[in-house]
Structure 1
Amino acid sequence: MTGMIERQTLALSEDQRESIRMFLQNELQHDTVTINTLEIDLKAIQMARMGVATDDASDPEGGAFAFEHSQTGAQQARIRSHAAEVKAALARLDDGTYGLCVGCKGEIAPARLEARPATAYCIDCAR
C-alpha cells in the first residue's frame, strides 16, 4: 500500500451488523426455496411437453408450454442472480467492506442500503 488507509465498512454497531446478516440470510433462504420450487415447475413443464407432438406457436398447447417454460426459466435466472448478490453482500459483511461501493470505494448511502441491503454499488456507480 502506498500510505493510504483502506476504508472499512460503515460504522455499524454489532446489533446492526447482526440484523443485516439475519435479513440477508433470510433472503438467501427464501431465494433457495424459490429456486428449488421453480426447478420443480420447470421439470413439470418439461414432462407436460412430452405429451405434445409439436412445440410451436401454431400448436395451441405447444406455444403455451414454450412460453411458460421460458418465463419460469427467466424467473429462476433472476432469483439466482439475486441470491448471488446476497451471498456477495454477506461476504462483504464478513470482510468488513459492507456499505462501501465496489466501484468507487465510497460509502453507499444508508437509505440505499436500507432499500437494497444486498447492493454492491452507490447510486452513481449503479447508473
Structure 2
Amino acid sequence: YVGFVSEERKRDLLGEGSVYVLPTRAEGLPIAVLEAMAGANAIVSTDVGGIPSLVDEANGALVVPGDGRALTDALEEVLADPEATERMGRVSRRRIEESYAWPDVVEELLSLYARALDDDAATTPPEE
C-alpha cells in the first residue's frame, strides 16, 4: 500500500503493473478499472455493476463477489501465463482507445445532449 499518489504517479504505477485486481461487492462503472485498462493491465474483478461491460475472458477474469477462493484462483490463472497476461493487457488498452478516448466521449455526450434537447422541444407545448 503506497497511500495517496499524484495522478502522474498513479499512471506510472498502473503502467508498471500487469494485472489490476478489484474485489468489490458493489460498483457502477469504476474509473479505477478504466484507468488500469488504460495502463494495459489484465483485470481480475468481481461480476458486479458495470464491470462485466469492461471485463471478459479476453482481458481478464470475473468472479462472484465474496468468493476469496475464486478470486485467488482467477488471479493465479491470469498470472500463470505471462504472455497471456500481456495479451489481456493489450486488449484492455485497445478497448480504452476504441471506446473511451476523450474525443469519442465528448462527441457521444454532445450527441446525447442534442437528442435530449430535441426530445424536450418535441414534448414541450408552445407558449401562448
**Fold conserved between structures, TM > 0.5:** no
| Structure with the larger strand share | 2
State the TM bucket, normalised to the shorter chain: under 0.3
TM-score after normalising by structure 1:
0.26
Structure showing the higher helix proportion among its residues: 1
Length-normalised TM-score, structure 2: 0.25
